[in-house]
Amino acid sequence: MSTKVKAPPKHQEHPMENLLRMDRIPHIWCPTCGLGTTVTALAAAFEQLNFDLKNAAIVSGIGCTGRVAGYMKMDSFHTTHGRAMPFAAGFSIARPDMKTIVFSGDGDLISIGGNHFIHSARRNLNITVICVNNFIYAMTGGQTAPTTPISANTATSPHGSYEHPFNLPLLAASSGAVYVARWTALHIRRVTTAIKEALMKPGFSFVEIIAPCSTLYARRNRLGDGLSLMKFYHDNSVIKHGADLHDVDIDFQSKIVVGKFVDIEKPTYIDSMNAGLSKKFGDKYKPYGGANGND
């Protein structure tokens, strides 16, 4: 009887290996965390746009979401907590020829980094911000964030949060963003389209992705595993493009309004600077960077 030993399977290339730093895989995220899906959407957006990654840089702050920058095979910056926005602001002004992307968590961007966020939007800096909202500070143990829905349990609100959360699309739009969309991590094709549109939009674009934290948020609130939570978010999403942003607050385990809310034209920070200084100094001023300026 012959005892043929089966040859080990050949290494199969992951379809997105060219976009990811494979030497960093396996990633640190928990099973059924929503973050992997959001990275897939970003990678798919790059692929579909045929985007040359040499023309973009990605910046993250600190947190589970903050690890994303380190997994993408492109210029990546893993900055300090809450400082993704100012770092990205400096980068986008210094390198107007490149697209600057911020990929970070709700806590990082809107709590400690909240002031930087609103001023980056106000100035209409040429930055695409992808904010993964899992309703808590996940990496540090599941504390209340400025996005935690009222009555949700967290490590610091064991009897249910009673703070009013921010409505992120309203915050972004009222601060000056020219593109604002919200989807859940299970709307993978919608998220991909939103990221593509945001990347192509000059100015401050904002995509909120509601994604489950299976380990801390789901467990503490007895909402099942990450998959159940993702299914809940998906099934309870109501698509309303152009919705009145005063009506898109998120309540605990309730309907979530998703869609493309804002898509407007406005001069970017560099365009406004060039226009203002050209008006003041005439031909003596050499326009900087941007679509029509010089370096």
Ligand X SMILES: Cc1ncc(C[n+]2csc(CCOP(=O)(O)OP(=O)(O)O)c2C)c(N)n1
Tell me whether residue 107 or residue 203 sits nearer to ligand SF4 (CB atom): 107
CB of 53 to ligand SF4, least distance (A): 24
Place of tokens 């100012």: 86
Q: Whose CB is nearest to Mg ion?
A: 105
The listed partner (Mg ion, ligand X, ligand SF4, none) that binds 29, CB under 5 to 8 Å by sort, is ligand SF4
Count, residues near ligand X per rule CB under 6 A: 17
Binding site for ligand SF4 (CB under 6 A): 29-30, 33, 35, 64, 134, 138-139, 213-216
87 sits in which H/E element: helix 84-94
108 binds ligand X (CB under 6 A): yes
Tell me whether residue 124 or residue 144 sits nearer to ligand X (CB atom): 144
154 binds ligand X (CB under 6 A): no
* Sheet containing 127-133: order of strands: 75-78, 56-60, 99-105, 127-133, 205-210, 179-184, 256-263, 237-239
63 binds ligand X (CB under 6 A): yes
Query: How far is 206 from 35, CA to CA, in rounded Å?
Result: 17
CB of 157 to ligand X, least distance (A): 15
Binding-site member from 39, 42, 89, 106 for ligand X (CB under 6 A): 106
CB of 149 to ligand SF4, least distance (A): 16
81 binds ligand X (CB under 6 A): yes
CB of 65 to ligand X, least distance (A): 4
Site stretch for ligand X (CB under 6 A), options 7-15, 37-45, 48-56, 130-138: 130-138
Query: How far is 122 from 103, CA to CA, in rounded Å?
Result: 19
Say which amino acid occupies 126: N
Binding-site member from 140, 175, 253, 272 for ligand X (CB under 6 A): 140
Nearest residue to 229 (alpha-carbon basis) of 240, 217, 239, 241: 217
Where are the extended beta strands (E) located within the chain?
56-60, 75-78, 99-105, 127-133, 136-137, 143-144, 179-184, 205-210, 237-239, 256-263
Say what the alpha-carbon torsion angle 72, 77, 81, 84 is, to the nearest 10 degrees: -100
Say which amino acid occupies 7: A
Query: How far is 24 from 20, CA to CA, in rounded Å?
Result: 9
DSSP annotation string for 189-207:
HHHHHHHHHHHHSSS-EEE
Place of tokens 């679509």: 291
165 binds ligand X (CB under 6 A): no
CB of 148 to ligand X, least distance (A): 10
CB of 185 to Mg ion, least distance (A): 13
CB of 23 to Mg ion, least distance (A): 26
Q: Contact residues for ligand X (CB under 6 A)?
A: 62-65, 81, 104-108, 134, 136-140, 145
